[in-house]
Amino acid sequence: MTPRPPSDDSPKKNGAKKPVSGKKAAVQKTAAQQKAAGKAARKAAEGKPAPEVSERPADRKPTGGKGPKSAGGNPRPAAADRPPAPVVAASAPTGAPPVTSADAPPVTAPAASDDAPQVTTPVPAPAAASDDAPPVTDPAGTVTPADDPLGSLPAHGGSPDGSSGTAAVPAFTGIGPGDRERLLSGTHHDPHGVLGAHPVPGGVAFLAFRPYALGVTVVTDDLRAELHDDGDGFFSALLPLRAVPDAYRLLVAYEGTVQDTEDAYRFLPALGELDLHLLGEGRHEQLWRALGAEPMVHQGVAGTRFTVWAPNARGVRLAGTFNFWDGTGFPMRSLGATGVWELFVPGIGEGELYKFEITRPDGTRTVRADPMARRTEVPPATSSIVHTSHHTWHDEEWMAERGGRPAHEAPFSVYEVHLASWRPGLTYRQLAQQLPAYVADLGFTHVELMPVAEHPFGGSWGYQVTGFYAPTARLGTPDDFKHLVDALHQAGIGVLMDWVPAHFPRDEWALAAFDGRPLYEHADPQRAAHPDWGTLEFDFGRREVRNFLVANAVYWCQEFHIDGLRVDAVASMLYLDYSREPGRWTPNEHGGRENLDAVAFLQEMNATVYRRNPGIVTIAEESTAWDGVTRATHHSGPGGFGGLGFGLKWNMGWMHDSLDYVQHEPVHRKYHHHEMTFSMVYAYSENYVLPISHDEVVHGKKSLVSKMPGDWWQQRATTRAYLGFMWAHPGKQLLFMGQEFAQGAEWSETHGPDWWLLDPAYPAEADHRGVRDLVRDLNAVYRGTPALWQRDTDPSGFQWVVGDAAEDNVFAFLRLDAEGTPVLAVSNLSPVVRHGYRLGVPDSVPAWQETLNTDSARYGGSDVTNPDVVKPDLQPWHGRPGSIRLTLPPLATVWLRPA
């Protein structure tokens, strides 16, 4: 862990010198004189006048930085206070390293380069140490035997006796000015090519970049070498080794402590060639395993690999808790044309906070959360967190069976939930103790969770996402969320999740202009800015952006066992002119208004998710008449487009029309009769879900029961009748939380459903409990009656009995299963009882029995029922040879099936 940078009054910050003791000042003065003398000698050799030797103490080490303590908690002694180490070898005044072994490699003197470790011309060197000591040198700092952990040699000085050897090796002068500047400014594309250990003529060059360090020592099994302080946090030395050691460590001394660590810049890239190829192609379907923070063991060392896509960046550095949020010493390397930057940091793991410090093309810097972060801080904090999952799944039976029947041919009734407000204050794990039992008791087959991905503003309900790969930390960790999904599966309940690939917010720490230029958003401002929500739209035409989103859809299904994705705001993606005035949008290449990039993206997403996750379903919230939303992607429609490939589509037309109808007073409903029947004109054009969602019970639209006219009894009766009609109508059902017990107030994310309405102490509790009992029975009868779901997408599964009884406010139709067994559904949406109401029925059914009546007393109704078996007579009616006579209760729906 690198210590915190010095404070503003530290010598590193403003050049002030920390007072030193007389003894230490004397040591510093001697070191400065030796350094100046060596410099003068080199200048003289080059024919240049030597500068005067300054009497000022050497400003070699910053002293204001605080660092982590060593294991023993004791600071490393200053060089002047340590006992002298055995002197094995020392360089000449020029700083040339001595040869210490007969195995030292031959030496040449290459030309210097700004971008390579610097080597000077050969100079004489002292003799080697004794044979029984490990090779030790003083090329640019101090080298001591490995068994002398605190020993040292004079840096850049002559041997104590002034002798010199005969073998010649080059002197190492450290990092070049070009590399130095790029590393200091955060614009280096290849820090690993400079830092770390590299073979050079004369041995192996070691370079470390440790801002605020007082000293750096290289340690291997055989030697310990203190690197020379080159200033600005750079340390270097040349050791006469034949090859780079397979492993070495750095002892980094800070004020008060010594850090023992692996060198992050000795590792090869931790991202494979196949990953890079797939990233370049935009086809990495498990992108989360290539980008982001991945704890791993790399080259035998435990640590975390950090990767981020930032192709426009001039440089990227890593900042986090492990370096006190100063990324200066943690530059990442560019992995070529993919635009990916990578750094493996040894010794850190899960739980660490981090961000990426990006140098933009204009030289300014921005600090960004990881777009691929799998865990985040709790908002409003914005850091990403290194995460490893430890959850063990127990839903094997559910996962094995969920693909046994396509969703459109199965019972499918959905309870829509906003997790944060269903029972405010509950965590994922606490929800796992309550939500599965509640939903199972009501008989819903699935829950649909409003967006779970991390979002900064709770008032957006999750529809403005910043952390696409992280469940919101408001309710717990990613493993806690897995625990909730697991519990729902074990209760026999499928889990759908709202997914928002249409847009993202403009927060400066998130995706917007991520690396200084439009990256995730479209480069054309008119295409990028969403006109309704003040957000940015994704650039669906960019392969890396498509990959980011397609892999995200796969991620939730694969890693969290999500059974389906309800894709939000599909219409806003499909049309270039969505909510845009003329002149504010540009037609596509064919002159049309269709967003061809978005079409291709949705097709790719659906095809990929279905292929990789058998048994899932995708659902489109699409509010227009786009052709082929639920058609297979390889089947073209009349417009020439292949289908979008969704499994189901929200029937927004049915929702708006039917809600408009029931909000009218019964006396006026005959003028709006077609609003309840028109849905059957297009009912089989797509595979539909009938949604009464959160959108319909907020922002002044009133709750479901409050939409109904009349007194409290009529409002509840109409609500019950409407739900009975909805559950019998072709299509799947979705009901938002709170509507199952006739909550009177609009929903608010700040307090959730009004559970107190079900408190037995509340006088009207029975009214609300009655509606909830009806919902439970609707689901129970529905699930046990294949006629109500088996042929939802087959026109032969539906027959009108009477669809034009506008004066009576009556609707009657048959639903039939695959064997032809019928269910008769009759809705009387007038407040009067209709006795002896005749309906034509199939002559194949000898008798009918009432199986559900929303006017039953147990639901809070007037208990007008048909308790006896009803037999048809031979009087033709409604175009059928036989008919029955029923008593239709007021504002009620009745279901009958063969007795």
Give the catalytic positions in this structure. Answer: 568, 621
Strands 617-620 and 564-567: parallel
Q: How many CA atoms lie within 13 A of 456 on its CB side?
A: 15
Closest alpha carbon to 41 in 121, 154, 127: 121
Concatenate the DSSP letters of all residues of 549-572 into one string. HHHHHHHHHHHS---EEEETTHHH
- Residue 641's contacts (CB-CB under 8 Å, 6 or more residues apart) are 594, 599, 627, 628
Closest alpha carbon to 802 in 728, 700, 878: 878
Alpha-carbon radius of gyration of the chain:
37
Look at residue 503 and give its three-state secondary structure.
Answer: strand
- Residue 569's contacts (CB-CB under 8 Å, 6 or more residues apart) are 500, 502, 503, 621
Concatenate the DSSP letters of all residues of 796-838 into one string. GGEEEEEEEEGGGTEEEEEEE-TT--EEEEEEE-SSS-EEEEE
- Residue 695's contacts (CB-CB under 8 Å, 6 or more residues apart) are 701
Q: How far apart are CA 73 and CA 77, in angstroms?
A: 12
Whether the Cβ atoms of residue 497 and residue 562 lie closer than 8 Å to each other: yes
Measure the CA angle with vertex 473, ends 490 and 318; round to 5°.
125
Residue 205 DSSP class: E
CA 181 from chain center: how many Å? Answer: 35
Closest alpha carbon to 66 in 240, 214, 227, 178: 214
CA 366 from chain center: how many Å? Answer: 20
CA 167 from chain center: how many Å? Answer: 59
User: CA dihedral in degrees (742, 746, 747, 748; nearest 10)?
Assistant: -150
H or E element in which residue 333 lies: strand 333-334
Residue 265 DSSP class: G
Q: How far apart are CA 254 and CA 9, in angstroms?
A: 17
User: CA dihedral in degrees (552, 558, 559, 560; nearest 10)?
Assistant: 100
Q: How far apart are CA 466 and CA 790, in angstroms?
A: 39
H or E element in which residue 672 lies: none
Strands 564-567 and 494-499: parallel
| Burial class of residue 505 (count of CB atoms within 10 Å of its CB; 0-12, 13-18, 19+) | buried
Q: How far apart are CA 623 and CA 772, in angstroms?
A: 29
Q: How far are the Cα atoms of 243, 502, 648, 730, 733 from residue 686, in angstroms, in the given order?
A: 68, 22, 7, 11, 15
Residues in the chain: 899
